[in-house]
């Protein structure tokens, strides 16, 4: 492996007083990464890899070095990319193990609750309606929580207006996850995080609950501020 | 000279900066008459013109002298270099006729061993062209007239290149029009394959053009080249474009897959020493196995965390070698992630010898064969940590 072609040299830090400025400039121009800008992200998902190779994109990457796979990448049957992202967002101070435990306990809780419903059900139709896979529930719940518009402050004539603008896919996913986590971390700690998360996810799956309400409130605000939409273009 | 007669009538302001001899004579009626007179009389150079050409040629003279001195100097250096090469060859007992630059480098490092860290500070003997920066040849003639039409842009070579690109672009357009007019639209033009190479950096272009460029000018040049290479028929100008591109490091090291070795019982095996952060792992993957994993004597439960165990299995599962090979690894260093990452890299690198080229490429795209260069970021002065700042106080 030729490291010299892949790594970048770190910048020098000279005077303290100009240091922050310097960092700021670096932050804007180049991210502070150990990799050179042309090094590509790895693709470990087998289906995506297949697509890459079949479409011919992989041939273009023949000469481009690829970054090392992260610690939470794997090809296990139980691996879910969205869950990995979610665990990262739940994690605080780098305690990945604790975050993983919390989310997996939440999934277990969801499975237990759904199983209880399943065994209580009497007819086959009822049983068919009950979703047992917590990953599927998690995905559907996030979908229901994703906002479609967001508000951004735009200054016009001295006053700052909250203008509704379309939202990007990544941002919508981020907001859904963030709200989910915030609602699960409530003040009274009698009910712990995994249980709360499980309840919130199930509610969101059924299009009810606090997080979905939060999304709908945002949509309502966007609706009321419809008049300012043209401020987006000045 | 006919033109001169007409121009003399106008006031002196118009001729500022064109030729100095318009100022040297007073622009009076007499003067103009004199001029006309001298012009009409005979064709050869006038008195005042002679004195001015002497002025110009003095500047030119010193320029020419400097250029001559430099040329002689380079010639001298070249002569000394060639002689020196022959001496070296004699000293090293080699044939002076076939003494290459590599041999010279070897000889110098043998005869003048240096403990200096930077290779550029060590003694060297290279061709004068490599040591002394190239200069442009005389850019104007004895009368001060520049040879290049774009001389007064101060970067004639750069602007010539830009103009060339524009001209070639138009030529490609005309070619495309011709093809369309002939009705051969269905033929897809050969695509210019630029993957595997990148535009040469600013420094290299400056060496080629012998002119210094600003960042903006370089960016502009690259933008123009990009636009040019995106033309459907740009493959016609492939040679021209490739002059300004350099090949990227084709992943040669990864392609040099080592051959499998055989142990006493005849089983194939491969070893690799892998690193991640401060952990070092020595991994031995043995073929014809049953999936036995041993890490520092114990099995996979050397790692308590699920994540670390998954990392060990990742390359095996990815390349479908899960129950087919045995893995024996020894690892040291602090940090479970670093240890498992090092072992993962070791397993991946060993597996290259067991699988086909397609799977190796897939592993590379998945990031399994890349060394992880991420290390702990250093603390900076004036800050509490790598990124954490001290408490900001307004006053």
Which chain A residues touch B345 with a CB distance below 8 Å?
68
A3 pLDDT band, cuts 50/70/90, is low
The 10s digit of each residue's pLDDT in A175-218 is: 999 999 999 987 777 889 999 999 999 999 999 999 999 999 99
> How close A87 gets to chain B, by Cα (Å)?
13
**Whole-number Cα distances in Å, B248 to A159, B58, B225, B365:** 53, 50, 18, 17
Contact B380 A38 (CB under 8 A): no
The 10s digit of each residue's pLDDT in B11-42 is: 444 334 334 333 344 444 443 433 344 344 44
Interface residue of A9, A23, A29, A63 to substitute, partner B, most B CBs within 10 Å: A63
Interchain CB contact of B359 with A (< 8 Å): no
Strand B293-295 and strand B279-286: the pairing is: unpaired
pLDDT at residue B103 tops 70: yes
Contact B317 A75 (CB under 8 A): yes
CB pairs under 8 A between A and B: 120
Contact B313 A76 (CB under 8 A): yes
* Among A58, A59, A66, beta carbon nearest to B370: A66
Which chain B residues touch A87 with a CB distance below 8 Å?
none
pLDDT on residue B156: 95
d(CA A7, CA B366): 19
What length is written for chain A? 234
Contact A69 B314 (CB under 8 A): yes
* Among B372, B375, B381, beta carbon nearest to A68: B372
> How close B346 gets to chain A, by Cα (Å)?
13
**A18: its two tokens:** 């100009």
User: How far, rounded to the nearest angstrom, does the alpha carbon of residue B113 sit from its chain's CA centroid?
Assistant: 30
Contact B365 A49 (CB under 8 A): yes
The 10s digit of each residue's pLDDT in B230-273 is: 999 999 999 999 999 988 765 555 568 889 999 899 999 999 99
Interface residue of B365, B378, B392 to substitute, partner A, most A CBs within 10 Å: B365
User: What is the b/e burial string over A171-192, where b = at least 16 CB atoms within 10 angstroms of the residue's CB?
Assistant: ebbebbbebbbebbeeeeeeee
Q: Which of A71-85, A89-103, B59-73 has the lowest mean pLDDT?
A: B59-73
Cβ–Cβ under 8 Å, residues B276 and A71: no
Contact B195 A59 (CB under 8 A): yes
> How close B234 gets to chain A, by Cα (Å)?
18
Which chain B residue is nearest to residue A65, measuring alpha carbons?
B251
pTM: 0.69
């Amino acid at each position: 492996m030729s490291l010299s072609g892949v790594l970048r040299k770190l910048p020098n830090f000279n005077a303290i007083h100009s240091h922050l400025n310097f960092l700021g400039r670096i932050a804007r121009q180049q991210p502070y990464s150990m990799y050179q800008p042309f090094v590509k992200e790895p693709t470990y998902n087998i289906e995506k890899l297949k697509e890459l190779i079949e479409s011919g994109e992989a041939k273009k990457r023949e000469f481009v070095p690829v970054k090392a796979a992260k610690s939470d990448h794997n090809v296990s049957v139980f691996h879910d990319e969205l869950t990995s992202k979610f665990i990262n967002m739940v994690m605080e101070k780098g305690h990945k193990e604790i975050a993983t435990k919390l989310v997996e306990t939440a999934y277990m809780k969801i499975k237990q609750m759904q199983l209880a419903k399943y065994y209580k059900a009497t007819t086959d139709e009822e049983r068919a309606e009950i979703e047992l896979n917590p990953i599927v529930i998690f995905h559907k719940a996030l979908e229901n929580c994703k906002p479609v518009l967001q508000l951004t402050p735009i200054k016009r004539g001295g006053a700052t207006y909250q203008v509704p603008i379309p939202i990007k896919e990544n941002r919508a996913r981020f907001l859904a996850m963030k709200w989910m986590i915030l609602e699960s971390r409530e003040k009274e700690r009698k009910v712990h995080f995994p249980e709360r998360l499980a309840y919130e996810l199930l509610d969101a799956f059924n299009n009810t609950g606090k997080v979905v309400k939060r999304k709908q409130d945002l949509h309502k605000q966007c609706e009321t501020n419809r008049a300012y939409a043209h401020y987006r273009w000045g | 000279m006919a033109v001169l007669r007409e121009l003399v009538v106008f006031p002196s302001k118009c001729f500022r900066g064109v030729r100095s001899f318009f100022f040297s004579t007073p622009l009076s009626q007499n003067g103009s008459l004199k001029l006309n007179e001298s012009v009409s009389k005979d064709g050869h150079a006038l008195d005042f013109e002679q004195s001015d050409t002497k002025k110009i040629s003095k500047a030119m003279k010193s320029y020419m002298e400097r250029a001559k001195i430099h040329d002689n100097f380079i010639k001298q250096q070249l002569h000394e270099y060639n002689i020196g090469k022959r001496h070296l060859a004699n000293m090293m007992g080699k044939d002076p006729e076939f003494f290459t630059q590599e041999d010279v480098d070897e000889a110098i490092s043998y005869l003048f061993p240096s403990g200096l860290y930077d290779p550029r500070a060590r003694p060297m003997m290279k061709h004068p062209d490599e040591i002394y920066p190239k200069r442009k040849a005389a850019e104007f003639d004895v009368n001060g007239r520049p040879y290049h039409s774009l001389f007064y842009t101060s970067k004639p070579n750069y602007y010539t290149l830009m103009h060339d690109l524009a001209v070639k672009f138009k030529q490609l357009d005309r070619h495309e029009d011709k093809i369309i007019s002939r009705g051969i639209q269905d033929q897809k033009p050969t695509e210019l394959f630029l993957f595997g190479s990148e535009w040469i950096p600013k420094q290299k272009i400056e060496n080629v053009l012998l002119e210094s460029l600003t960042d903006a000018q370089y960016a502009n040049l690259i933008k123009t080249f990009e636009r040019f290479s995106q033309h459907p028929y740009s493959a016609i100008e492939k040679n021209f474009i490739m002059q300004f591109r350099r090949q990227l490091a084709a992943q040669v090291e990864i392609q040099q897959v080592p051959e499998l070795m055989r142990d006493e019982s005849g089983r194939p095996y491969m070893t690799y020493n892998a690193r991640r952060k401060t952990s070092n792992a020595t991994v031995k993957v043995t073929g014809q196995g049953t999936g036995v994993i041993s890490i520092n004597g114990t099995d996979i439960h050397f790692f308590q965390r699920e994540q670390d165990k998954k990392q060990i299995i990742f390359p095996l599962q990815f390349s479908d070698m899960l129950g087919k090979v045995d893995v024996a690894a020894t690892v040291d260093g602090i940090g479970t992630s670093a240890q498992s990452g090092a072992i993962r890299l070791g397993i991946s690198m060993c597996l290259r010898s067991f699988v086909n080229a397609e799977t190796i490429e897939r592993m590379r795209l998945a990031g399994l064969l890349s060394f992880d260069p991420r290390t702990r970021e250093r603390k900076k002065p004036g800050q509490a940590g790598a990124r954490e700042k001290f408490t900001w106080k307004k006053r």
